[in-house]
Chain A
């Protein structure tokens, strides 16, 4: 069974979200990377871009297919994981750590309440299995 760290929020589209003060760090879950397989390119936005909740914010290309990463909450793009440019497979190797994708400066912290908890996400995975 794929790991689901308890200190993170999740989405139904398999992103994870780590809340750190006024920003959130975003990546894809271990389950998502296992479904995608070998990641070969990651297309990132520009810092400062304003993103609506639910809008595509990055694109992950694996050998098998292409997958959009959706902004789990509204915000502006703060940091990008530039390492993914040369080592996109970090998403496969360490999805919750060095494979993070970007961070957003968030405007409304209460939006996090709409995200899934680890327990809820785990239940979702069990349904999909």
Chain B
């Protein structure tokens, strides 16, 4: 049986096309469709149900030391109210998950991918050893609403006690939202300015409806997972299970910035250091296609008719109105002359730099 977020009935009543994602029945898109939803987030604002994601709380005397051991990112120097992107690595340097670390007053909150939350929680406990920490899965206690788009601040500011004007990207504040305690962070997965609002799970439906009412005059609409994927892919953001996995390491995936080799021993450090010294053999790169070609995850990339890699994520970009792809290919290939195999035919691939579309997060 698929699981449901507290907004499931709302999505169904709204006529959403539902899809199974990470064990949850989630809205793929609403009546407007993926393209309109995507454009609304780029031009105005969209609301996302992110209640399927996991939250793991780590606290205790040695919480920072422990996290510096299990995570690739530097944790001990984080300040309260800061958010950092990190990876959970295996000893061999494979990636168990990518996640956001929220540094609160007396604890850390790890926000993890829905598909991996059980595995992450089990791994974190296995690696606990003698660290004096308490690890708690709060996935069923918290819900997240994403509010993304250039009008997000305009919509949210009047509704929270604290001003949002001074809240920078990758920062959060603890506030009240319609008298409910909430974490509001300036974070997201779309490349637009925006926020993620953490609430007690049972408070989500009422506040979701309230936000939509308040934002309606600004053009705020609900947005499904379909546009969430096209928005993140236009930015070139990794998606676990596509660009990152147990068999694709962070250096190949292009998220080496989240691996801090200059800190003491951490899980995966030796393996990743060896990989770094030897040099990676594969890399995630960005391609555009021409004409009526839409790259899809799993399509083969060829160089002079020899397979050299595979598309990890591909779609039609609503902003560029053409095919875009991330692909894992052998390192050191020529920039020109690579082709994509589409139903037995070879189509031209144009190498490009990320992001596909310029981001507008508020730094």
Give the contacting residue for A37; candidates B29, B292, B296; CB below 8 A: B29
Q: Is A34 part of the contact surface with B, judged by Cβ < 8 Å?
A: yes
**Is the interface on chain A under 10, 10 to 19, 20 to 34, or 35 or more residues?**
10 to 19
Residues of A within 8 A of B315 (CB): 63
Q: Is the CB of B316 within 8 A of A63?
A: yes
Residues of A within 8 A of B343 (CB): 59
Compute how far the CA of A66 lies from the CA of B294 in the bound complex, rounded to whole angstroms.
Answer: 9
Residues of chain B in range 1-57 having any CB-CB distance to chain A below 8 Å? 17, 28-29, 33-35
Give the contacting residue for B316; candidates A35, A40, A92; CB below 8 A: A40
Compute how far the CA of A37 lies from the CA of B318 in the bound complex, rounded to whole angstroms.
Answer: 13
Q: Is the CB of B292 within 8 A of A63?
A: no
User: A65 with B316: in contact, given A37-B226, A38-B34 (CB under 8 Å)?
Assistant: no
**Which B residue sits closest to A88, measured CB to CB?**
B292
Q: Is the CB of A63 within 8 A of B296?
A: no
Q: Is A3 part of the contact surface with B, judged by Cβ < 8 Å?
A: no
Q: Is B113 part of the contact surface with A, judged by Cβ < 8 Å?
A: no
User: A63 with B17: in contact, given A40-B316, A41-B294 (CB under 8 Å)?
Assistant: no
Q: Is the CB of A41 within 8 A of B28?
A: no
**Which A residue sits closest to B32, measured CB to CB?**
A38
**Is the interface on chain B under 10, 10 to 19, 20 to 34, or 35 or more residues?**
10 to 19
Among A37, A65, A92, the most chain B Cβ lie within 10 Å of the Cβ of A37
Q: Is B230 part of the contact surface with A, judged by Cβ < 8 Å?
A: yes
Among A34, A37, A59, A64, the most chain B Cβ lie within 10 Å of the Cβ of A64
**Which B residue sits closest to A68, measured CB to CB?**
B343
Give the contacting residue for A35; candidates B17, B226, B230, B292; CB below 8 A: B17
The smallest beta-carbon distance between B312 and chain A, in angstroms, is: 16
User: A63 with B35: in contact, given A35-B17, A40-B316 (CB under 8 Å)?
Assistant: yes
Residues of B within 8 A of A35 (CB): 17
Q: Is A61 part of the contact surface with B, judged by Cβ < 8 Å?
A: yes
Residues of chain A in range 59-76 having any CB-CB distance to chain B below 8 Å? 59, 61, 63-66
Among B17, B230, B292, the most chain A Cβ lie within 10 Å of the Cβ of B292
Residues of A within 8 A of B28 (CB): 37, 64
The smallest beta-carbon distance between B348 and chain A, in angstroms, is: 16
Among B28, B294, B296, the most chain A Cβ lie within 10 Å of the Cβ of B294
**Which A residue sits closest to B299, measured CB to CB?**
A66
The smallest beta-carbon distance between B181 and chain A, in angstroms, is: 37
Compute how far the CA of A34 lies from the CA of B292 in the bound complex, rounded to whole angstroms.
Answer: 21
Compute how far the CA of A35 lies from the CA of B28 in the bound complex, rounded to whole angstroms.
Answer: 10
Q: Is A43 part of the contact surface with B, judged by Cβ < 8 Å?
A: yes
User: A66 with B296: in contact, given A37-B17, A37-B28, A37-B226 (CB under 8 Å)?
Assistant: yes
Residues of B within 8 A of A64 (CB): 28, 34, 226
- Can you pick out 26 interface pairs between chain A and chain B where the beta carbons lie within 8 Å of each other? A34-B17, A35-B17, A37-B17, A37-B28, A37-B34, A37-B226, A38-B33, A40-B35, A40-B294, A40-B316, A41-B292, A41-B294, A41-B316, A59-B343, A61-B292, A61-B294, A63-B34, A63-B226, A63-B230, A63-B316, A63-B318, A64-B28, A65-B296, A66-B294, A66-B296, A92-B33
Residues on B lying within 8 angstroms of A by beta carbon are 17, 28-29, 33-35, 226, 230, 292, 294, 296, 315-316, 318, 343
Residues on A lying within 8 angstroms of B by beta carbon are 34-35, 37-38, 40-41, 43, 59, 61, 63-66, 92
Known A40-B294, A61-B294, A66-B296; further 14 A-B contacts with Cβ < 8 A: A37-B29, A37-B34, A38-B33, A38-B34, A38-B35, A40-B35, A41-B294, A43-B292, A63-B34, A63-B35, A63-B230, A63-B315, A65-B296, A66-B294
